[in-house]
Amino acid sequence: MSIGGRDWKAMWLGLLEASLLVTALFSFATSFDEWHRLLELFSHFRLQYLVIAAVLTCAFLFLRWPGYILLGLATIAVNAWHVVPWYLPVEHSPVADSDIRILHANILVSNDSSDRFFMAVTKADPDIVVMQEATPEWISSLGSLDTIYPYKLVEPRNDPFGIALYSKYPLESSVVNAAEPFGFPQIIATAAIGDKRLHILSAHPANPVGASNANGRNLQLDGLAELAARTPAPLVVIGDLNITMWAHHYRLFEEKSRLKNARLGFGIKPTWPLFMPFAMIPIDQCLVSDDIEVTDFTTGPNIGSDHLPIVVTLRLH
């Protein structure tokens, strides 16, 4: 059976209508993501909702459908409220040679491209490297890092929760603790940088798929926020926190820890999942205390993981 021109037109118009209605529904419903963990899972795609709503609104402007134009503009507005502030200009000092550069990467437990990671580290030349999903094989294959980073703290595991820190600066104190509720390792370290001390916390909570994992991630984030609030400044919290800046539990974490996100003024900088570029979201986070100035924030190259690394440049005041 053939489909006539009018039928094709009606089908495409119906698809446009349905697409905008679904985008609007998710955009507004996820503003209340504290109501249910499933709403939070869809709250992470604010940038995607904004782009889709803008494209569909242009289509309805062309069609001159006022009701859908108004709905499209409202959908754009609610998502722009969440997205645009990350791109607003923030006064940043130019990067200086004396600044501290930290590279963080979730290297993916099944990744066998250690050479690509080593090349990324060599190119970025960070002062501190933080790795997550570090396995014993990875730590062994990166033995050459020891000549560049003489100070390290490693807790490799054969599951996705191994963790490691390499530093050019002496580690005045360093420990790996078992975070509640699943006992995943967290790094607590203090780097001696001349006469200053930089405190570093790194964690990799569970992904929030499933009620148990979601509750566990929230509990670990809550404990990490409490730890951050008790830790002297200057302080950096960095890691794959498995949450974006638009989620209710992220906002609780930021409020409780009294830290600010290093992305401010640099944009969204999505990091995962690399295998679905349009769906990428910013779940690798770096937060800093008020006495730290962020002079640069960027993502690194593909290292064979499903995450992009983040490279953050900091200045202590």
Kindly state whether residues 193 and 245 are assigned to the same domain.
yes
Q: What average pLDDT does this structure show over 40-55?
A: 97
What domain count does the chain have? 2
Spatial distance between the Cα atoms of 41 and 37, rounded to a whole number of angstroms: 7
pLDDT tens for 69-113 read: 999 999 999 999 999 999 998 888 899 989 999 999 999 999 988
pLDDT at residue 89, as a whole number: 87
Spatial distance between the Cα atoms of 18 and 8, rounded to a whole number of angstroms: 15
Range of the domain at 75: 5-86
Kindly state whether residues 66 and 122 are assigned to the same domain.
no
Against a cut of 0.75, is the pTM above it?
A: yes
pLDDT tens for 252-307 read: 999 999 999 999 999 999 999 999 999 999 999 999 999 999 999 999 999 999 99
Q: Is residue 94 part of a domain?
A: no
Spatial distance between the Cα atoms of 29 and 24, rounded to a whole number of angstroms: 8
Q: Is residue 240 part of a domain?
A: yes
pLDDT tens for 193-210 read: 999 999 999 999 999 999
Q: How crowded is residue 7: how many other Cβ atoms within 10 Å of its Cβ? A: 10
The last residue of one of the domains, among 86, 115, 137, is 86
**Residue 116 pLDDT more than 70?**
yes
Q: Is residue 26 part of a domain?
A: yes
The last residue of one of the domains, among 86, 119, 137, is 86
Kindly state whether residues 171 and 219 are assigned to the same domain.
yes
Cβ contact 264:86 at 8 Å? yes
pLDDT at residue 6, as a whole number: 65
